Amino acid sequence: MLAGRFFPAMFALSWFMLSVDAQQADSTEVNIRLEDVIVRGEPYRKVVTRASALPMEVAGERFLQQHFTGNLTQTLEHLPGIHSMDIGSGFAKPVIRGMGFNRISVTENGIKQEGQQWGADHGLEIDAFRAERITVRKGPASLLYGSDAMGGAIEIISLPAPDVNCLLGEAVLLGKSVNATLGGSLMLGVKHNAWYAKMRFSEQHFGDYRVPADTIVYLTQRLPVARRLKNTAGLERDVSLYAEYRQGAYGAVYAVSNAYQKVGFFAGAHGIPDASRLDDDGDWRNIDLPYSRVNHLKVSSRQQYTIDGGQLTWDAGFQRNDRDEWSLFHTHYAGQLPPEKDPDRELFFSLDTYASSLKLRLLRSTWEHTVGWDVQYQQNRIGGYAFLLPAYRRLTTGLFWIASWHLRPGLTLSGGLRYDRGRIDCEAYLDRSYDVDRRMDDVSGSAGVVWTPGEAHQLKANIGRSFRLPSANELASNGLHHGAFRHEQGTPSLSSEQGWQWDVAYAYEARGLSLEVSPFVAWFGNYIYLKPTGEWSSLPHAGQVYRYTGAEAVFAGAEVSLSVDLLRCLTYDMTAEYVHTYNVDEQIPLSFSPPASMRHTLSWTLRGLEAWVECQSIAAQCRTARNEDPTPGANLLHAGANFSVAFCGTRAQLALSIRNLLDTAFYNHLSFYRKIEIPEPGRNFQLVIKVPFKNN
């Protein structure tokens, strides 16, 4: 019913605005000769970062090409303050300054990506080949995106349309040695007058990935792996369509995408550990039980109308995220009869999300105001023989106002307020879950200053209050979560997370030297986390019960970036980051706290060839939560080269990289497989070939 009203309204408004613009257009052509005009502009990264009081990172085309891995989150972890929580060889989720899961918002074309991001074994279902430019906001972003953005936001942005009518496209090939990845992407586009459209198809196939280890430890048992993790193969298939129309004061964007992923779970980490299940079956590309399957469909639209001194924007979208996990029924419930239909379907979640955001931006000589209204409705259905999360419905809405005041050249004050209200209704399920019907509201705000005393220096400061409404799993989950190796239980009485964060950033850039330092401190009065209860679960193979609990918590840390032009063609880059977390109530660190790390990179550029070598130092993480293992540090060596060659009238771009050159055995403290002492993948040769074309 809601979808039936939602999309006709969206396209009706599109047609109305297009008709208004057509009526206003003047059909009379006037030819005017103008004198030559010289336009000097700043790089996109500098323009964006200088306009925000929050620390920001921008990943442009060059960065994405040099660090491309086929996985969007793993590509972004080369930015300071960003980490990748890896889930085997196919999935990964972003972590910003120690915060992940539902505390990070990922947006594309103005719509927040919504899936089952609350789970430790749930990745980000977005085609990495489709990302053309990415902006990362580090710090409280609740003011812009409401709940679920208290730790930051990742914005995926499409590049502007070509200036002239043309046919364009690109073919990309990807290969990796560590898990025999074979992948590729094909994009075709056309620009004709006011219209710009492009279509992309991407696909990746990978096998069981190699690790520099012969055994692992699971529940005190040592199991053989023969330097390869059985059943970690998978595939990813993505298709997308993007269309843009701009004429006069009116602009519209339409986007449709579908992402499909099927990835095996390492059998020794899903259910009862059994050495016989790890025996080599002679096929390291097959996907056997247990495995997960995800399909994410997204449809979005942006309608934009520019008025005198302002701009009106309406974003609307629909998403359907279907996720199921398959595992042999008797693996967990020996002696019980399996279901008659789909007996091996362990869990099934189907999440529908409807979203709408209306913004009005007003520009004056020294002031800029933005007011907006967001609405989001979600419905989640469940299935499978194992219970973890009940079916639920969730409705949130928010009103916000953001303003910037340019006092004088080089000095800008900014701030804003936001009010959000939400309701979540969880359904009862047998004797395992009870009705949960909660209504909550909260307020967020921020105030900041950007001071640029000269071209070389810039100082930012921002203080913000952020919040997050509890998610359905934190309120009503009650079951065995194999993705986290524990029995998880929600607390229906939880209130929203609330916190304050203070950020400062200083940047210097002149004469071949660039330096940026960004310290931060955050305090949360009700930080929600999973606390071990000491109670033994009644479910088979579940261990003790972990219950979602609120606590006072503190985050503090900093990021440092340095770039120096040593010679005309030689550049040294260094990034360093540190996050300190503390659970004040328990007087212990919080779980999933990333260790301190540092990267040193030397780049040599000459005549279109760029070669680089990088040393990555990861400190040991000994500050761990209860029942969380410490992780030793490591020093890794990486190298690569980027160059282009003439090919059929165009320039083919090649990027060759070698990750973990010395085949060092090390652990990722945030990894899904860290608990069972599975090291990260070993030496990996990767080749990316990109062949663009353009025909005016």
Quick: pLDDT tens for 425-464.
999 877 677 789 999 999 999 999 999 998 899 999 999 9
Residue 326, beta-bridge partner list: 291, 345
Q: Average of pLDDT values for 147-152?
A: 88
**Distant-in-sequence, close-in-space partners of 378: CB < 8 Å, separation ≥ 6:** 114, 351, 352, 353, 354, 392, 393, 394, 395
pLDDT at residue 28, rounded to an integer: 41
Q: Average of pLDDT values for 537-541?
A: 74
% pLDDT > 70, the chain: 89
Say which residue, 87 or 602, is predicted with more confidence: 602
- Does the structure show a pLDDT above 70 at 161? yes
Rounded Cα distance, 310 and 305, in Å: 9
* Strands 478-481 and 133-138, bridge-based pairing: unpaired
Q: Average of pLDDT values for 78-104?
A: 85
Element (H, E) at 475: helix 472-476
pLDDT at residue 657, rounded to an integer: 95
Residue 240 DSSP class: E
Domains of the chain as residue ranges with CATH: 48-695 (2.40.170.20)
User: What does the angle CA 94 – CA 99 – CA 102 come to, to the nearest 5 degrees?
Assistant: 75
Confidence of residue 40 (pLDDT cuts 50, 70, 90): very low
Residue 268 DSSP class: G
- Does the structure show a pLDDT above 90 at 315? yes
Least-confidence region, from 3-7, 102-106, 169-173? 3-7
pLDDT at residue 132, rounded to an integer: 92
Least-confidence region, from 83-87, 394-398, 455-459, 492-496? 83-87
Cα 646 to Cα 472, 579, 688, distances in angstroms: 54, 45, 16
Q: Average of pLDDT values for 522-528?
A: 94
Considering the entire predicted model, what is its pTM?
0.89
Rounded Cα distance, 673 and 676, in Å: 6
Residue indicated by tokens 């974003």: 315
Confidence of residue 314 (pLDDT cuts 50, 70, 90): very high
Q: Average of pLDDT values for 67-96?
A: 85
Confidence of residue 234 (pLDDT cuts 50, 70, 90): very high
Q: Average of pLDDT values for 514-522?
A: 96
% pLDDT > 90, the chain: 59
pLDDT at residue 590, rounded to an integer: 93
* Strands 152-157 and 104-108, bridge-based pairing: parallel
Rounded Cα distance, 338 and 344, in Å: 8
pLDDT at residue 484, rounded to an integer: 67
Confidence of residue 331 (pLDDT cuts 50, 70, 90): low
Structure tokens belonging to residue 41? 């502009």
Least-confidence region, from 262-276, 451-465, 531-545? 262-276
> Of 382-391, 592-601, 670-679, where does the model show the most confidence?
592-601
- Does the structure show a pLDDT above 80 at 527? yes
- Does the structure show a pLDDT above 80 at 11? no
Task: Judge whether 536 and 520 are in contact, CB under 8 Å.
Answer: no
Query: Residue 86, Cα to own-chain centre: how many angstroms?
Result: 12
Q: Average of pLDDT values for 650-672?
A: 92
Residue count of the chain: 696
pLDDT at residue 483, rounded to an integer: 63
